Structure formats: C-alpha cells, structure tokens
Amino acid sequence: MPENSNSIIELRGITKDFEDTRALDGIDLRIGNGEFLTLLGPSGCGKTTILRILSGFETPDAGEVLLEGKVVNDVPPERRQVNTVFQSYALFPHMTVSENVAFGLRMQRRPKAEIAERVAEALRMVHLEKLGDRKPSQLSGGQQQRVALARAVVNNPLVLLLDEPFSALDYKLRCRMQVEIKRLQRRLGITFVFVTHDQEEAFAMSDRVVVMNQGRIEQIGTPQEVYEEPRNLFVARFVGEINILPGRITAMKEPGLYEAEIEGVLFPLRSARAFAEGERVHVLLRPEDVRLLEPAEVGDVPHLSGRIEDTVYKGATVKINILTDNGKTLSVAEFFNEDDQEINYHTGERVAITWVDGWEVVLPHDAG
Amino acid sequence: MMRILGRIWLWGVYAFLYIPILVVVVYSFNDARYSTSWKGFTLRWYELLANNRPLLDSVLNSLSVACLSATLATFLGVLAALCIRRYRFPGRKILHGTLYVLTVSPEIVMGISLLMFFIVCGLQLGILSLIIAHTTLSLPFAAVTVLARLAEFDESLMEAARDLGASEWQAFRMVMLPMISPAVAAGWLLSFTLSMDDVLISFFVTGPTFEVLPLRIYSMVRLGVKPDINALSAIMFGVTVLLVLAAWLLGTKVKRKN
Amino acid sequence: MTRADLTRRLSGKPGLFRLTSIAITALWLGLFALLPHLGLVVVTFLTRGTHDFVIPSLTLANYARLLDPSFSRILWDSVWLSFAGTVCCLLVGYPFAAMMARASARVKPWLLLLVIIPFWTNSLIRTYAIVILLKSGGIISMICQWLGFTDAPVSFLYGEFAVFVGITYTFLPFMVLPLYASLEKLDHRLLDAAKDLGAGSLRTFWHVTLPLVAPGIVAGSMLVFLPSLGAFYIPEILGGARTMFIGNFIKNQFLVARDWPLGASASIILTLLLGLLILAYTFTVRRADGHHKPETEGGAL
C-alpha cells in the first residue's frame, strides 16, 4: 500500500467511546482509490462504528477523518460524497423503486431528464429495469437489496459503504450477490468499504481485508496474506480453522531456518521472524497444511504420532480429527480421493503427522 | 356457564351505556312539551333548534375555534413528538414527562390557571384566549398520538435520507411526514373533538361575547328538561356516531393500503 | 486535544430545523402550561385583594382555611362519592373489558367501536340523559310505578345517588378503554403456566393477572376519579344545590366569591391527588415490567 497519494480515505488515530465501552481505540487506516476493502471481525469489534464515522453519523472522540485529503470530521452526512447501503436496506416504503433510486439525485437538484436517465441506467446495472414502478413491499429480499445498491451507486459517490448487506439472504443468493457486487465495483471503479463477520465473504470480494477485534485493527492485508501469514493468534483463529502447536526454539540453523522441539520431537521451522534460542513459540498449521502418513512409511522424517479420532466426510474434502500421543487435538483437511486406496481413514488407526515444509507459521509465544 | 354470564354482563353494560341516550333520541320526536308519555311523532323541536340563533352562532364559534386550535395543536404536537424522539437536549425527559402528565391533569386546574394568567397578562377573554387554551389542552394528546407512531418508526430510513443528501428538514418532509400522516390526522381529529367537547376550560377562559356550543348547552340544561334539548342531544349523538364511524373506516382503509 | 474538543463541539451543532422545533415547543409549553401552573402555586400563598384579585401578601391562611371543618366535609364527601363511583366503574368495567378482550378478532373491532361512541359523545348530553332517566316521571320512575313499588311518580334526582349514577355513567368508557388495552396485552400463556404449576383460578388472578393488569386499572381510575372531582356540571345538574364537589367549590371561589387564593389552594388538592396516582401508576408499571425491589436496585425509583 503506497505511503500517501492515492488514499481516498484516511483515518488517523480514531477513538470512539460509547457510555462505558471503548468502541474504537486509536484506529489508523488508509484506503486507496478504487479499492475493495472489507472490515472483518466479530460482533462488537467496531467495524460498523468505523463505517458510521465514515458516513458521518458518528463523530470520533479523537482523531481525524480525511476524505480526499481533507478533514471532514464536522461535515454532516448529507454533505459528504459518501453513500451507504444499509443492513436493513432502509428503502422508503411510500416511494416506488424509481423514486427511491432517484432520491439522492433529487437532493442534488439534478435536472429531471438527467435523473430519469441515470435512474434507468442504475436499474439496468442491477438487473431491475422492469420493476421501476413497484413499491419495495412488492419485491423479494434480493430485489430490495439491489434497489438499495442502485440507490447508493447512482450518485457516483467517492466511497460506497456497505453494512453487512447480504446478512438477510440465503446462502446461494449470497454467493451470487458477492460475485455481482465484485463485478459492479470493478466496472464502476468506486472505492467500496464492506463490513462483514463472514470470513469467506470477505475473501471472495476484497482486495484487502482489515481484521478487527475489540476496537483495534489486528491485521491488514490481502486475503492471502491474512490467511497464510496471520500476525497473531486472534487473526489465525478468526480467519478459518487453525491448529496451534506449542514449541521451543532449540537452535538457529541459518537465517530463516530454525530447529524447534515440538512434543519431544525436533522439527525444522521456517520463519522470516527473528527468534532466540530457548524461546517459546506457537506453530500454526492450517488443516490443509498437515500431511498424514502411515507409521510404517514415515522413515526419518520428523513427525508426531497420533490416532484418528473421527472423520467427517464433507463432499469435496474430508476432515480428520487426530489425537496426538501427547493429548493434543489436530484438525486435518484433505481432498477426498476416490481412487486412493493407500490410506483409508479409520477411527483408531495410528498415523504419523507432519506438514509441508515452509507452510507453517511461527509466532512468538505472547502473540495473542 | 361463565361464558353465558359474561355475555349477559357484556350486553347489560352496553344497554346501560346506550339506553339513556337512546331514550332521549326517542323523546326528541315526541309531540309533548312536558309529559313523558308518547303523544305523537313530530319534528317541531328540530325546527325550533334551526331557528335558535344564539345556538347556531355558538355552533359556528365552536367549529372555528376547534379547527384553528386543532391545527395549531397538531402542528405543535408533531414538533414536540419529533424533538422528544429524535433530538437530544437538556430537559428532554422533563418535556416527555410533562406531556404525559398534562394528558391526565384535571381540566379545571388548567382552566383556572389560564384564567388567572390571561387576566394578569391583560388579555381580553374571547376567541383568542379560547384558541390558546384549547391548543394547550389538545397539544399533549396530539403529541402522544404521534409519539406512539414514532416509536415504531424505522430510524434507518431517516439516516438513509440524510446519507443521500437530504437536510434534516427535507428528510422530515419527504420521508417521515408521509409515513406518519395517519397518526397526524388522528391527532388532529382528537384535538378537534376535545375542543368541540370542552366545557370546563371554556367555562373559565371565554368572554361574555363569545359563546361556544358546550357552554350554550350547559346553560340550557341548567334550566331543566326541555324538548328542544332532546332534539339537540339527538343531533349531537348522531353526529358523534357518524364521525366515529367515518374515522373508523378511514383508519381501516389506511391500514389496508399499507 | 484541542482539535478533538473542537470536533466534538462543532459536530454537535444543531441544524436550523432542529433548533426552531425545540424552541417553539419549549416556548409554547413554557408560556401556556408551565407558567400558569407555577402562577397557580404562587397564588395559593397570596392574599385576596379588595380591588385587585390578589395582593402580594404572603400567607398560609388559604391552606389553613381548607382544613376548616366546613371545607373538609365538602372535601371528604366528594372524594368519597367520586371514589365510590370509581370503584363502581371498576367493578362494572373490569368484567366488561375482559369479555371484550376475549372476543374473536372479527367481533372485537365492533365491540370497541360501540364503546368509543359513548366515549366521544358530549358529556353534558350524557349527563342530561341521566336527568331524563331519573327525574320524576322518567324511565326509572315509570318502571317503579309499573312494578308496583310506588303509586306516584318519584324522582331520584338531586341527591348523592343521582350524582353517583351520573359519575358512573359518564366515566365508565374512560375506565373501560385503559382496562381493555391492558387486558388485551395480557399473554394467556402466562395464565396457563400458572395453572400448570398448580395455582387455582383465584390465585392465578391474584398473583399473575392482577399485577400485570394493574397499570390499566390505575390509568382507568385516574381517568375517572380526578375528572369526577373537577367536573362541576355533574353534581350541579344531578345533585342540585346541596351537593358540592371540589370542582363546584373552585368554580364558586373564582367566579362568585372572587377569592382566587382559596380557589387555587383547593385546586392544588386535585394536583396532589394527581401526583399520588401518577406515583401509583409508575409503581405498578415497574412491577409489571419486572423492576420489583427498589431496595436491591440501590433505591433508584
């Protein structure tokens, strides 16, 4: 992310308190023009508060909000070039779809002909051309959602804010909408700031993801960075499933390559971080990073020993729960291979546990 | 068994509520001045009313005061409800509480306090004092009616309007007002009826030259039973029935449209 | 932090619409509701003047005169009669409202409509109807003659009984509507749960129904008790010269005796009663909602 220039939004040191709770604690964030950024985190982490500060419905207790380089802390919502797609859609029930979509343009006092044209185009973009004269109550949830989108987008805002807009839709519709909205964003080139608690959703659409917890930013990065290189245990746990093994660094072999003792076995560990000899660490492994071998085949390769507790067939993958000899539970995911006769996973079967070299993530012991 | 008793009780009470007034209606057609036995059907008491100039004047006076005070009270009531619901300011809770207390406050207290207030201020007692008094009487009722509707109002709609560039006034005018208009209309109707019906406050704050209908009725009734009062009662009862039915049908029609 | 302070102050800057709305409302209520009532309280401490209505001479004599036996008698008689009327409305109205609440959804609106019509009918007209009912040769009189109780026409007017009937008749709808609202909201599953846990009908009523319906009962009582004390036309028309309620007393002081301070003091009594009832209402509402024991909550009322 470049240092300055292209940031259309900047938050500097934003703090916000509500009654007794601190909703945001010193948030610094830069969002680039044309970027699709998602704020991801559990309920109460502050992601919606950031959105409301960006739209102007909340004012920060400390810090600055900059839009296009200008401080906008005291600019009210109606004068910011920012539009919001609300979680409840907030469509005006007494107006038709067209009137709803036209509302923002009317507020800008655009000429009637221009309004009509832009409304029609916006409805075309969301595939609702024929429904302009309907009232919101006559539309399905998915259609209402798209009207809310059109109503916001038609104003050509600098930034579009989306507050968990798909939470009321069923799974298949959600997935379809995620694709559509990504396409829409690419086509319009508008900066999108999206809020969700659903990790898969965030990954499906975003250029960058901001993982938040209790009013603080835990990590910012591309979906791949956040998934494969989590900065701390919270991010690791929140974004997908994770196995965490406690270990101790025994030696440094070369820069980036360490030797560590995990459950009594010495393993090579790769990490760009610097660790001292004797330091305690967490070794993080995604379920798909783990490799299971038959005890007979494993040879000299460093491995842990354990027993299969149960297997869960998920269609495309199989999830295997392992109990190591030291009592640790591990979760392993493998693609289900119909033809593979080599390993049949049976409960109680003994396995050797290892992982793909370099796929591990090593974190210091106190990286909560 | 309980059910039958309950039914009897139900219809018994309805009978208690309606029989006295229905008797009056029947007697309004009775061609007898003082007797209570039936002497024949007549409309002459109604004719008498139609020629009663002071009575007709008082009706006109009442209507004008009711219309003006209802409009003013509704306007103020909507503003009050809006302030309480949407804005934070010192004394907001006090204002809210005051409105509720005013709805149950005995009218005679309001009547005498306004009487003293007007005299101390040097305001001539007449149509103006009456309008002010009736507005103050009805305002809390209109406000409470609108507040009830606002409690169910989806706040995100107003935020959406502002998000799209509307000022507070525009958002109110184009989004909130159309949606709460049934409650506003109900508040107006309520204020109108309160004004038309009011005896206690009008008694104290009106002047000698300006008479309103309830006070005219009051002076007539004090003089004893007279057949033209029967006719007047019948007319007023009839008007009430029509108005209530009309308001009811309007209410259900609005509900169906939404 | 100066910039943040500025931010906080400016971002709370009210728009013009908001400011004028608050200002207009506060102005009207302050001027025509608050001020006159405050003036009323002040007047109770002043003295009656000979040329002006009041002279600024502070005294407690007005309240002292209220304690005088002649006034206390009026006070107690009318309070007692109004109270009796309220209780009667409650006893008549509660089963009535309960039946309404239990009616089918199709019939309910019509039942409600039939109560609202008398509710909106002018109270003077309705009081007049009672005169027709109770007067000599009136309906009740005719029924008594027909049943053989008396030979000659008999009048039930001009006495406490007539006023009692008048109060009950006029204010019954005012009791029924809040009761109905409360009873309608009552969740019958709660009653079933109580029965399931072994409570008989009476105990279910006492422990479950009554606390939940209590706000409606208090509200209905407020709408009957206080107005009946103040509505002077009912005792005047139905009770004749002998019955005097607080309302009549106040009216006399203001329009006949021109004794503002004394009349104002009497009206304070009404206001105090109002205050008591409002407290009772708040208490029952809190109890129904579950804020049961003030002590454990640190005494916050």
Q: What is the pLDDT of residue C292?
A: 45
Is C175's pLDDT higher than 60? yes
Q: Does C5 touch chain A (CB under 8 A)?
A: no
Q: What is the pLDDT of residue C7?
A: 33
pLDDT digits (tens, 9 = 90+) for B201-258: 999 998 888 889 999 999 888 887 778 888 888 998 998 898 888 888 877 776 666 5
For residue A164, give the amino acid letter: E
User: To which residue do tokens 């102050």 refer?
Assistant: C9
Is C295's pLDDT higher than 70? no
pLDDT digits (tens, 9 = 90+) for B115-164: 999 998 988 888 999 999 999 999 999 999 899 889 889 889 999 999 99
Q: Which residues of chain A have pLDDT under 70?
A: 1-5, 338-344, 368
Average pLDDT over residues C91-118: 90
* C-alpha span between C157 and C243 (Å, rounded): 11
Per-residue b/e over C146-184, b at no fewer than 16 CB within 10 Å? Answer: eeeeeeeebebbbebebbbbbbbbbbbbbbbbbbbbbbe
Is A156 within the bounds of a domain? yes
Q: Say yes or no for a CB contact (<8 Å) between A77 and B170.
A: no
* pLDDT classification of C12: cutoffs 50, 70, 90: very low
Residue A306 and residue A323 in contact, taking contact as beta carbons nearer than 8 Å: yes
Same domain, A281 and A338: yes
Collect all residues of chain B within an 8 Å Cβ-Cβ radius of residue C33: 98, 102, 110, 136
Same domain, A177 and A284: no
Q: Say yes or no for a CB contact (<8 Å) between C11 and A61.
A: no
Starting from the edge strand earliest in sequence, which strands make up the sheet with A82-85, in order?
A82-85, A159-163, A191-196, A36-40, A208-213, A216-221
Any idea what the CATH number is for the domain that residue A338 is in?
2.40.50.140
pLDDT digits (tens, 9 = 90+) for B168-202: 889 999 999 999 998 898 899 889 989 998 999 99
* C-alpha span between C277 and C300 (Å, rounded): 19
Q: Best residue in B164, B167, B184 to probe A by mutation, most A CBs within 10 Å? A: B164
pLDDT higher at B4 or A24: A24
C-beta neighbour count of A112 within 10 angstroms: 10
pTM of the model: 0.80
* C-alpha span between B80 and C57 (Å, rounded): 38
Of B20, B107, B113, the CB nearest to C129: B20
Residue A355 backbone phi and psi in degrees, to 5: -150, 170
Instruction: Give, to the nearest 10 degrees, the angle between helix A141-153 and helix A97-107.
Output: 20
Is B56's pLDDT higher than 80? yes
Is A271 within the bounds of a domain? yes
For residue C3, give the amino acid letter: R
**Gap from A75 CA to chain C (nearest CA, Å):** 8
Q: Say yes or no for a CB contact (<8 Å) between A86 and B160.
A: yes
* C-alpha span between C241 and C231 (Å, rounded): 15
Number of A–C residue contacts, CB under 8 Å: 20
Q: What is the pLDDT of residue A36?
A: 96
Pairing of strands A159-163, A191-196: parallel
Q: Which of residues 91-150 of B touch C (CB under 8 A)?
A: 91, 95, 98, 101-102, 104-110, 112-117, 119-120, 132-133, 135-136, 139
Q: Best residue in A54, A92, A110, A154 to probe B by mutation, most B CBs within 10 Å? A: A92
User: At CB < 8 Å, which residues of chain B contact A?
Assistant: 154, 156-157, 159-167, 170, 174-175, 178-179, 258
* C-alpha span between A167 and A177 (Å, rounded): 11
**Gap from A20 CA to chain B (nearest CA, Å):** 19
Average pLDDT over residues C252-277: 87
Q: Which of residues 164-223 of B touch C (CB under 8 A)?
A: 167-169, 172, 193, 196-197, 199-200, 203-204, 214, 217-218, 221-222
Same domain, A13 and A137: yes
Is C2's pLDDT higher than 70? no
Q: Does C41 touch chain B (CB under 8 A)?
A: no
Q: Best residue in C11, C13, C16 to probe A by mutation, most A CBs within 10 Å? A: C11
Collect all residues of chain C within an 8 Å Cβ-Cβ radius of residue B243: 120
Domains detected in chain C: 68-289 (1.10.3720.10)
Mean of all residue pLDDT scores within chain C: 82
Of B154, B164, B167, the CB nearest to A83: B164
Alpha helices in A210-360 (DSSP H): 223-228, 233-238
Residue A206 and residue A36 in contact, taking contact as beta carbons nearer than 8 Å: yes
- Rg for chain A (alpha carbons), in Å? 25
Alpha helices in A154-301 (DSSP H): 171-188, 199-205, 223-228, 233-238
The partner residues of A317 in beta bridges, in order of sequence, read A335
Using CB atoms, which chains have 3+ pairs under 8 A with A? B, C
What residues contact residue A165 under an 8 Å CB cut-off, 6+ apart?
A: A85, A86, A87, A89, A145, A148, A149, A177
Q: What is the pLDDT of residue C84?
A: 93
Is C299's pLDDT higher than 50? no
Is A1 within the bounds of a domain? no
* C-alpha span between A23 and A267 (Å, rounded): 42
The partner residues of A269 in beta bridges, in order of sequence, read A258
Per the structure, the count of domains in chain A is 2
* C-alpha span between A302 and C69 (Å, rounded): 105
Domains detected in chain B: 1-42+224-258 (no CATH), 54-222 (1.10.3720.10)
Average pLDDT over residues B106-117: 92
Average pLDDT over residues C260-268: 88
Any idea what the CATH number is for the domain that residue A68 is in?
3.40.50.300
Distances (CA, A) of C213 to C99, C109, C152, C276: 14, 21, 47, 19
Pairing of strands A243-254, A280-285: antiparallel
Q: Which domain holds residue A189?
A: 7-238
ipTM entry: 0.84
Is B87's pLDDT higher than 60? yes
Same domain, A348 and A208: no
Is A135 within the bounds of a domain? yes
Q: What is the pLDDT of residue C291?
A: 53
Residue A260 and residue A275 in contact, taking contact as beta carbons nearer than 8 Å: no
Of B154, B166, B179, the CB nearest to A107: B166
- Among A238, A264, A292, the domain-final residue is A238
**DSSP run (H or E) holding A292:** strand A290-293
Q: Does A13 touch chain C (CB under 8 A)?
A: no
* C-alpha span between B73 and B103 (Å, rounded): 13
- Among A222, A238, A254, the domain-final residue is A238
CB-based burial label for C293 (10 Å; 0-12, 13-18, 19+): exposed
